[in-house]
Structure 1
Amino acid sequence: MTSVDDLIARLQELHRQTKSTPLFNPVFQLSLDLSRKLESGEMSLDSLTALVDELECESLRSRAQQLDALLGPVALEANDNALGASLAADDFAAFRKRWENPLLHAVFTAHPTFLLEPEQHAQVAAAASHGSDLTCHAGGAERPAITLQFEHERAMRAIANAQDARDRIVGNVLRRAKDAFPAEWDGLEPEPVRFATWVGYDMDGRTDIKWFTSIGFRLAEKAQRLARYTAQLEGVDDSHDLVPELRAATAYAQERAKDFQSDLTDPAALTVAANRLTAADPRRLLTLKDTIARLEADARDSDDTDRAIGLKTLAAAMRSDGLGMGWIHFRVNAKQLHNAIRRRVDPSGEIDLASKGAMSHLRRAIEDIEPLRSNFAALAIESSTAIRQFLAMAQILAHVDSDTPIRMLVAECEEPATMLSALYFAKLFGIEDKVDISPLFETETALEHGGRFVDELLAEDAYQAYAKARGRVAIQTGFSDAGRFVGQVPASLAIERLQGRLAEAMQENGLGDCAALIFNTHGESMGRGAHPAGMEDRLTWPLSPWAKRRFMRSGIRLEPEVSFQGGDGYLKFATPELAFATLTRIAELRPAEADPDAPTDPFYRRTDLSLDFYRAVKEHQRDHLESRTYSRAITAFGLGLLNSTGSRVSRRQSDLSADREMSLRQIRAIPHNAILQQLGYPVNIIAGIGSAAEGNYEELGALLQESARGRQIIRLVRASNALASIKTVAAYGELFNSAYWASRTYRGTENNISEACEALADYLVKDDRNGVFRRLASRLRSDALKLHRLLDVIPDEAPRDDREHVRRVIGAAQAVRLALLQHMFIKAVSIPAFSRANDISRDDVIEMVFTLRIDDALAQLRRAFPVHFPRIGDFDLDEPTDYPESGDAGYAALRAEFIDPIERAYGLTLRISTAIANEFGAHG
């Protein structure tokens, strides 16, 4: 078995045995075949490395093909032509309405999904961009440190490509307008897409982002955007009289950005930086209003069509982005706001923020506010995270960009009083006219009570006045935690109902003239709400036609917003071709629109079936979440199956007993979903769908087939189920099966590892993980049988030709990793005993290996078995010694035999993790 094809052939052969032996596990048997060859010396870690290289390359090709299928066509010229159909219009008013209101807001977030090494990221993007085969290089390169700075640089690179793609769309729109409406076109102000980012501004769950980090990023973004504006104008007309002004403004912004790149905790350093930023300077540019007006006027007066279109395209970019690479989103947690507001209006802590009394108290506080001035010193000494964010926004609006609105996202926002608290601080610092406060609905409680929340909030006079002044009501609906705690399908349906309720509440409370800005923070994986079947499904899964029609029928303008999360999301903007393809698909699909006269989807009409289906799936998902079996299985390896993919790292427990009792709530949504991928079964997508149909397959199947929303649900489930393997889940449990290790050498085979296998058998007698995985696999199998019955009555709209091949590739990858894990276990129990040090024993180290805390285990082993230590020859003493009699023998041989192979094998398992995630299309 020297190639992946060999592994697949062997796996197919083994699968045939399941007909006669239902409990037979082909994946684990293949891993045993490989393990025996490895332990006997017939194969080596070099041999497995070659297999991992091939698996990794295969997965990168698969990722590029998925990207091409999602976005295609990808060629620039092809998308120029594709865009043509969206440019048709009978009159200028309709054309203007179509292109002057953003089709979408795209937010570039820094979720920890930087799975691919930079070279791999570039390889996948290049292959998808040009339809070429992916040339793989030897993998296993050292992964770069994924710092906040790294994430920010990657976000800015993606946004830059997105801006260029938008400029290309705007140019096409303007050219079409000039041809079709020559007397009116110069009044057109296209704004097809807006961009934003929260990289460097998101404080939810983080303490490592200093206030001056955020200010520094915003200044760096300003400098970068001004440099791009300057280059763009020079490309249109390098003699334009605005060029020197933009160059000077760019240089000034670069100087100020440099001031804020250093540590400003020293008051003296801050004083210098702040005074430079706030001082009057002819080069300082705080608004682009006059610049845009001059560009528009020059375009109107120009006889050169290309020059006029170029100037208007630049003006459109400035109108969209302002003095930055895009809009910015600050984010805090509701608890942080609660702590802050108590300090201001309830220092004694007597008010319950969930009570009616709290609302009355906050109303009076907002009415009585006298706005306060603030400066950088006030920001520097502020200890409250929430207040510090409002102070930072105030300084940005005062001294960086006075025009561009800022979003304030509030995570875990479950009480209207939280929103009034945020409004209080916005008014306190005089920025309520430029800040859009947005509650995040993501937890089960928030979704369950979201309708009440919206009704109460929008009925508040203070909030109504604020929303009317801003011209929009902003909310955020999250698919990560919701998809974990409720299940992805129930979460999407609950979010949809909340969105529909928002439309009703806006109409009922006289806010129909405001826009509804709905930020759907789904990610790139199915487990985070990214529908894999195509761009139309990807855009309508989080904001369905049913929900959009509720706004259309109320005359409320929609401003849909989605996130492109981390390294996975940035792939869609990794090259000019991909960025333009992404925005062209958005322009074609027009996600802000829906047909208000479309007939009601039967999914929403037959609520006797659909509501029962929703509730049953949700209850099934909740049963898993609350089950000790599920929790223990998901945390059986801690987070050791996952690569580090972001600067916000999920901290592992240092206490071994705490590892064994780890709660799912200690793991963030993305790692949780990523572990499900790695174990082989996306529970939060698939589980419960079959059980919800039990006893009613025909009727429910008919409804789901007749309904557009139902077919969309089934497409998601089929896509996930195509990659799922319950046999793989069970295979991981066999690693902890004492009987397996005791029996492996029972017939006198593999005598060279008999002692290690016996030690493993003894060690695992009391381990619970084998039983846990078996119980989980049984539960999943029972539910899956019901799912298959349901799917049998619903025709497959687009069966995958490569389904079985992809499943076999994943199965082969899982088998290789299981063989590597067995190798690590065998090596771990074969290490000689050592004395307890720092309260860490040999058994503790073995347990660290079993939970894949390999870095910790290796550190302890290297401390116990040093290679470098003081030697006799290091000393120049007059007195002779006969001791020690032997040479300076250390533990180099022991390290080479046991410790180094564990490290190398673990590195290969993480590369397989990358390959499996690529087959799923995203990390987590």
Structure 2
Amino acid sequence: MNGVGALIEQLGQLHNRTQETPLFNPVFQLGLDLSRQLEGGELDLTGIEALVAELECESMQSRASRLRRLVAPVAIIDNRRELEMSLTEREFSAFRARWERPQLHAVFTAHPTFLLTPDQSAAVADAASSSADIGLNACVTGAERPAITLKYEHGRAMRAISHAQDARDAIVSEMLEHAAAHWPEQWHELEPLPFRFASWVGYDMDGRTDIKWYDSIGFRLGEKAERLARYAASLAAIDANHPLLNDLRGALAYAEARAADFAEDLTSPEALSGAANRLTADDPNKLLSLAPLIDALEAEAREAADQRAIALKTLAAAMRADGLGMGWIHFRVNSSQLHNAIRRRIDPDNTLDLASRGAMAALREILAEVKPLRSNFAALAIESSTAIRQFLAMAQILAHVDSDAPIRMLIAECEQPSTILAALYFAKLFGIDDKVDVSPLFETESALEHGGRFLDAVCAEESYQAYVRQRGRLAIQTGFSDAGRFVGQIPASLAIERLQGRLSEAMVANGLTDVAALIFNTHGESMGRGAHPDSFEDRLTWPLSPWAKRRFLRAGITLEPEVSFQGGDGYLFFATPELARATLTRIAELRPAETDLDAPVDPFYRRTDLSLDFYRAIRSHQRKHLESQTYSRALTAFGLGLLNPTGSRVSRRQSDIAADRGMNLRQIRAIPHNAILQQLGYPVNVIAGVGSAADGNYEELAALLTESARGRQLVRLVRSSNALASIKTVAAFGELFNSAYWASRPYRGTESHLSDACEALAEYLTTDDRTGVFRRLASRLRVDALKLHRLLALIPNENPLDDRETVRRTIGVAQAIRLALLQHMFLRAVSIPAFSRANDISRDDVMEMVFTLRIDDALAQLRRAYPTHFTQITDFEVNAPSDYPDNSGEGYATIARDYIDPIERAYALCLRLSTAIANEFGAHG
């Protein structure tokens, strides 16, 4: 075996055989060829590991190249020049309008996408940060994965935000320098605010119970200390003896001490009381507002020379943007948690339908009568309701940590206007409604389908109108993860776009054009989570299209776009100073909060007879997959065993072996769902249905998609995904469970040394359904793909990839090697000597664990059945002699060496291949 290049060539030759035999599967055949070499001794796991390392390296180079391509140019000097070229305003008023409100709110979320190790992330980012050729400098192979804890995720988020802050400071400084040169009499009036940053890491309670309330307080205090240290460092760089440094350093020491308090275990009343009393007590260093410091810096700047004035105003701008933290924070709860909390107030007997008019009337009544209540940390500690606990935590943060920076309250699965009124009630109850932005999340199929009526109803509520006017903004959240999973990514994106349009209509109809519309589009970096891979412009306009933006801006509604940069994938855009600067410069150039109001109507929105039918047909096709037992069984055939652990939040609920055999898709979260699709070789939730939706109307639909900017963007997404997809790979996985394959493999004397193992596997799998499941799924995907290719042939390819086949073959080789490793694991597992049932775990249970890739569980059971470390007779100081035991006790060591250890090593290599495949797709899940 000469390496991956030779395997790519071999796979290409095998592909040629499909012309003779259409059902021939080159990926599976290459996997079989490798398996025969591995089982025959021509190749060992060390040789396989060398191939895996080569694929890892190539995939990291691919990822670095993609990252650089999206944000290029990356050199600081180039981006300084690019920014200056974009400053084309001739009037100060126009310049001021552009720079005094955020073009984008960037939220650093921590969904489980920490695929790369810190060393790997650094290698990819460093390679992408330079214009030099990307070579071995991007490669870190076989890296040990750290435990991904909430603290780890928070630290990575803060690191990314710090780079973003530095990049924003540089942009603000250069913008002020330009203004000072062009408008010397007016530039001091500028209060720049081009970007805001936020995070929900440590504050997101949706789907997890492992975050204690005092963890959130502790994180916020830690962020306050970190930001104060950065403010002090910036001011010291301007003037090492500046008088405000004493204020900042005193506040920093105080914040560090309080953060240390809340980093302790505060479960006991005594511990909590001490920490709470120290935080709530008056103290000269208890800085709660930066307003006096901002005023002082601005006043000093007006009297200073330009260079010093620019530096002072840049620091004031950072303080104005971030407040007393690394950015704004987002708490998140589920709507059901709010429902449980509000029932205690309006429906203690649990008889009221919260969607009913009666519930709305009751909520209006208590909203009109509510009187704010004081609260303290003891009230927070004893509160059992998750939702109320969040409001109490927000109240304490606003009272004792940062009184200026508002807090977002995101509500997941929010489908009823009563949920919003319930949130408003608790915000008023604890006296924080003037600082909290309640934001419903529209992500489920029902929420997207009925979201327009929801928005109409809630915007008509007088209490809600008064609330958003008080806040100056109306906030909503649209999600692409669950929407992409349950609706399909393309219909989800189009449904979200229509929902955004309905929001503008509801605001106009209810006289709310005097408040801003803050639209938080929570997508990730994956195509399956709403991240368009073709360009940064596509990445920004896919979730918030020019059509949607025009609906707001033509109505005179200020738009505040917000997007997430999710976890390890998203943080790469801010992993180095160069990348952070390039990312923010691209955003500043593209101006996502603006659009051309005079642009002609895109035919995609004019020809709704075609576009709506197209949308509905894709959505219907996606629904059929989700409702199909075939699709569900194929995706769960290996459980979640094809995936690395990539976050602190669990990927699914705990279950037993029997439950694994019938795992439901709703047990798996959105990101693992998408990640499994990548690993199986076909992003169904992106591609499927597009071809079938064009059936019978190819020419007319192709013409529409070609003529429409939105249509071409849609096609670019599909082409990018399809370029990485392989239906043959999907089918290949099913053949692993084919009893006939195992029975035939040693046929006519070939591989006779495997006869017993293959016979055992063949017998074990005679009743297994997975071969048929994968074949049916592959057949359905193939029929749809034929129609897709017919449609794409009629649409010009805007970005043809020269290396498309090389990339596909590289992924194919990775899949084939993994197929060989999986077969190696199956053969080793079935060859282990039978052991007696212990603790309700049988040999068949262990086999099923291996087949569903619950390898850690299987290894634990096998090592318990065949221990290699146990008490020896020589460990005892017993005087009486003994001739027994009369053997060395090495039998189990042999079983471990020949069977158990190879399974463990092969599985570790499988997971490294999973990382490589995800890198080729550009993101995890």
> TM-score scaled by structure 2?
0.99
State the partner residue of 1:682.
683
State the partner residue of 1:757.
758
State the partner residue of 2:265.
263
State the partner residue of 1:225.
227
Give the C-alpha shift of residue 346 in structure 1.
Answer: 1.5
State the partner residue of 1:336.
337
Tell me the secondary structure at the aligned position of residue 107 of structure 1. Answer: strand
Q: Is the 8 A contact 1:572 1:582 kept in 2?
A: yes
Q: In the aligned structure 1, how far is the partner of 2:265 from the partner of 2:93?
A: 52
* Paired residue type of 2:448: L
Q: Percent identity?
A: 73
* Paired residue type of 2:283: D
Q: In the aligned structure 2, how far is the partner of 1:131 from the partner of 1:149?
A: 34
Q: In the aligned structure 2, how far is the partner of 1:702 from the partner of 1:20?
A: 35
Q: Is the 8 A contact 2:514 2:557 kept in 1?
A: yes
* Paired residue type of 1:601: D
Deviations 1:142-170 (A, max 9, x none): 21000000000000000000000000110
Give the C-alpha shift of residue 883 in structure 1.
Answer: 2.5
Q: Is the 8 A contact 1:161 1:576 kept in 2?
A: yes
Q: 1:161 aligns with which of 160, 163, 169?
A: 163
State the partner residue of 1:316.
317
* Paired residue type of 1:840: I
Runs of 4+ that moved beyond 6 A: none
* Paired residue type of 1:638: G
Counting only pairs closer than 5 Å after superposition, residues 748-787 of structure 1 correspond to structure 2 as 748-787=749-788
Tell me the secondary structure at the aligned position of residue 521 of structure 2. Answer: strand
> TM-score scaled by structure 1?
0.99
Q: In the aligned structure 1, how far is the partner of 2:263 from the partner of 2:363?
A: 38
Q: In the aligned structure 1, how far is the partner of 2:113 from the partner of 2:882?
A: 59
State the partner residue of 2:603.
602
* Paired residue type of 1:724: A
Q: Is the 8 A contact 2:64 2:138 kept in 1?
A: no
Deviations 1:221-280 (A, max 9, x none): 000000000000011111211011111111111111011001101111111111111111
Q: In the aligned structure 2, how far is the partner of 1:884 from the partner of 1:277?
A: 66
Deviations 1:765-819 (A, max 9, x none): 1000000000000000000000000000001011011111100100000000000
Q: 1:197 aligns with which of 175, 189, 199?
A: 199
Q: Is the 8 A contact 2:335 2:411 kept in 1?
A: yes
Tell me the secondary structure at the aligned position of residue 351 of structure 1. Answer: coil
Q: Is the 8 A contact 1:76 1:580 kept in 2?
A: yes
Q: In the aligned structure 1, how far is the partner of 2:866 from the partner of 2:585?
A: 60
Give the C-alpha shift of residue 657 in structure 1.
Answer: 1.6
State the partner residue of 2:282.
280
* Paired residue type of 2:54: E
State the partner residue of 2:26.
26
State the partner residue of 1:108.
108
Q: In the aligned structure 2, how far is the partner of 1:237 from the partner of 1:887?
A: 75
Q: In the aligned structure 1, how far is the partner of 2:351 from the partner of 2:867?
A: 59
State the partner residue of 1:529.
530
State the partner residue of 1:591.
592
Tell me the secondary structure at the aligned position of residue 203 of structure 1. Answer: coil
Q: Is the 8 A contact 2:30 2:816 kept in 1?
A: yes
State the partner residue of 1:852.
853
Q: Is the 8 A contact 1:639 1:652 kept in 2?
A: no
Q: In the aligned structure 2, how far is the partner of 1:17 from the partner of 1:121?
A: 39
Q: In the aligned structure 1, how far is the partner of 2:28 from the partner of 2:886?
A: 50
Q: In the aligned structure 2, how far is the partner of 1:197 from the partner of 1:697?
A: 44
Q: Is the 8 A contact 2:123 2:139 kept in 1?
A: no
Give the C-alpha shift of residue 141 in structure 1.
Answer: 2.6
Q: Is the 8 A contact 2:681 2:726 kept in 1?
A: yes
* Paired residue type of 1:412: E
Q: Is the 8 A contact 2:123 2:140 kept in 1?
A: no
Give the C-alpha shift of residue 652 in structure 1.
Answer: 5.7
Structure 2 unpaired stretches of 5+: none
* Paired residue type of 1:125: A
Q: Is the 8 A contact 1:653 1:659 kept in 2?
A: no
State the partner residue of 2:445.
444
* Paired residue type of 1:91: E
State the partner residue of 1:919.
920
Q: In the aligned structure 2, how far is the partner of 1:889 from the partner of 1:295?
A: 76
Note if 1:15 corresponds to 2:15.
yes
Q: In the aligned structure 1, how far is the partner of 2:889 from the partner of 2:730?
A: 48
State the partner residue of 1:352.
353
Q: In the aligned structure 2, how far is the partner of 1:654 from the partner of 1:631?
A: 16
Q: In the aligned structure 2, how far is the partner of 1:326 from the partner of 1:444?
A: 32
Q: Is the 8 A contact 1:2 1:47 kept in 2?
A: no
Give the C-alpha shift of residue 747 in structure 1.
Answer: 1.8
Q: Is the 8 A contact 1:835 1:841 kept in 2?
A: yes
State the partner residue of 2:36.
36
Give the C-alpha shift of residue 754 in structure 1.
Answer: 1.1
State the partner residue of 1:380.
381
Q: Is the 8 A contact 1:868 1:890 kept in 2?
A: no
Q: Is the 8 A contact 2:120 2:140 kept in 1?
A: no
Counting only pairs closer than 5 Å after superposition, residues 623-638 of structure 1 correspond to structure 2 as 623-638=624-639
* Paired residue type of 2:3: S
Note if 1:435 corresponds to 2:436.
yes
Q: Is the 8 A contact 1:828 1:898 kept in 2?
A: yes
Give the C-alpha shift of residue 172 in structure 1.
Answer: 1.0
Give the C-alpha shift of residue 881 in structure 1.
Answer: 2.7
Tell me the secondary structure at the aligned position of residue 209 of structure 2. Answer: coil
State the partner residue of 1:577.
578
Aligned length: 923
Deviations 1:716-752 (A, max 9, x none): 0000000000000000000001111111110201111
State the partner residue of 1:326.
327
Q: 1:142 aligns with which of 141, 144, 149?
A: 144
Q: In the aligned structure 2, how far is the partner of 1:389 from the partner of 1:890?
A: 57
Q: In the aligned structure 2, how far is the partner of 1:654 from the partner of 1:111?
A: 22
Tell me the secondary structure at the aligned position of residue 431 of structure 1. Answer: coil
Tell me the secondary structure at the aligned position of residue 177 of structure 1. Answer: helix
State the partner residue of 1:61.
61
Q: In the aligned structure 2, how far is the partner of 1:643 from the partner of 1:764?
A: 27
Q: Name the CA shift for 1:651/1:448 in 2 (closer, same or farther; >3 Å).
A: closer
Q: In the aligned structure 1, how far is the partner of 2:657 from the partner of 2:650?
A: 19
State the partner residue of 1:815.
816
Q: Is the 8 A contact 1:300 1:308 kept in 2?
A: yes
Q: In the aligned structure 1, how far is the partner of 2:84 from the partner of 2:556?
A: 28
Q: Is the 8 A contact 2:412 2:441 kept in 1?
A: yes
Give the C-alpha shift of residue 871 in structure 1.
Answer: 2.0
Note if 1:88 corresponds to 2:100.
no
Give the C-alpha shift of residue 108 in structure 1.
Answer: 0.1
State the partner residue of 1:76.
76
Note if 1:300 corresponds to 2:308.
no
Q: Is the 8 A contact 2:406 2:435 kept in 1?
A: yes
* Paired residue type of 1:521: T
Q: Is the 8 A contact 1:638 1:652 kept in 2?
A: no
Deviations 1:635-691 (A, max 9, x none): 000000000000002246442221111000000000000000000000000000000
Deviations 1:276-310 (A, max 9, x none): 111111111000000000000000010x2211100
Counting only pairs closer than 5 Å after superposition, residues 876-915 of structure 1 correspond to structure 2 as 876-915=877-916
Give the C-alpha shift of residue 879 in structure 1.
Answer: 2.8
Q: 2:254 aligns with which of 252, 255, 272?
A: 252
CA RMSD, 1 decimal: 0.8
Q: Is the 8 A contact 2:497 2:548 kept in 1?
A: yes
State the partner residue of 1:206.
208
State the partner residue of 1:184.
186
State the partner residue of 1:568.
569
Q: In the aligned structure 2, how far is the partner of 1:145 from the partner of 1:921?
A: 23
Q: Is the 8 A contact 2:479 2:523 kept in 1?
A: yes
Tell me the secondary structure at the aligned position of residue 748 of structure 2. Answer: coil
Q: In the aligned structure 1, how far is the partner of 2:94 from the partner of 2:675?
A: 45
113-122 vs 348-357, which moves further: 348-357
642-651 vs 783-792, which moves further: 642-651
Q: In the aligned structure 1, how far is the partner of 2:141 from the partner of 2:169?
A: 37
